[in-house]
Amino acid sequence: MRHLLDTKTLAREDALRILDVAEDMADTQRREVKKLPTLRGKTVVNLFFEDSTRTRISFEVAAKRLSADVINFSAKGSSVSKGESLQDTAQTLQAMAADAVVIRHGASGAPRTLATSGWISAGVVNAGDGTHEHPTQALLDAYTIRKRRYGDDSRGRDLAGLHVTIVGDILHSRVARSNVWLLDTLGAEVTLVAPPTLVPQDVSAWPVRVGYDLDEAVAAGPDALMMLRIQLERMNASYFPNEREYSRRWGLDPERFAALPQSTMVMHPGPMNRGLEICAQAADSPRSTVRDQVTNGVSVRMAALYLLLAGERGDAGTGAQPQQKEDAR
CA-CA distance, 180 to 202, in Å (whole number)? 13
**What pLDDT shows up at residue 232?**
66
Residue 129 host element (H or E): strand 123-129
CA-CA distance, 65 to 98, in Å (whole number)? 18
**What pLDDT shows up at residue 51?**
82
Q: Quick one: how far is CA 110 from the chain centroid?
A: 17
CA-CA distance, 93 to 101, in Å (whole number)? 9
Cβ atoms 137, 290 nearer than 8 A: no
Give the chain's radius of gyration (CA, Å).
Answer: 20
CA-CA distance, 299 to 295, in Å (whole number)? 7
SS3 assignment, position 100:
strand
Per-residue pLDDT of the chain (329 residues; tens, 9 = 90+): 899 999 999 999 999 999 999 999 999 999 999 999 999 999 999 999 988 889 999 999 999 999 999 999 877 655 565 567 899 989 999 999 999 999 999 999 999 999 999 999 999 999 999 999 999 999 999 999 999 999 999 999 999 999 999 999 999 899 999 999 999 999 999 999 999 999 998 898 999 999 999 999 999 999 999 999 887 655 555 677 678 888 999 999 999 999 999 999 999 998 898 999 999 999 999 999 999 999 999 999 999 999 999 864 433 333 334 344 445 44
Sheet holding 163-167, edge to edge: 209-211, 189-193, 163-167, 224-227, 265-267
Question: How far, CA to CA in Å, does 277 sit from each of 142, 227, 329?
Answer: 21, 7, 39
SS3 assignment, position 16:
helix
Cβ atoms 269, 297 nearer than 8 A: no
Name the residue among 298, 307, 306, 299 with its Cα closest to residue 54: 298
**What pLDDT shows up at residue 1?**
82
DSSP H stretches of helix in the chain: 12-28, 54-65, 86-95, 110-116, 135-150, 174-185, 214-219, 243-250, 254-259, 280-283, 290-309, 322-328
**What pLDDT shows up at residue 315?**
37
The region, left, alpha or beta by phi > 0 then psi within -120 to 50, assigned to residue 151 is left
Name the residue among 163, 120, 122, 94 with its Cα closest to residue 4: 122
SS3 assignment, position 190:
strand
- Please give the span between the terminal C-alpha atoms of the chain, in angstroms, as a whole number: 19
**What pLDDT shows up at residue 148?**
96
Identify the sign of the CA torsion 166, 172, 175, 181.
positive
DSSP-derived secondary structure for 210-266: EES-HHHHHHT--SEEEEPP--GGG--S-SSS-HHHHHHHHSB-HHHHHHS-TT-EE
**What pLDDT shows up at residue 246?**
87
Name the residue among 324, 271, 301 with its Cα closest to residue 58: 301
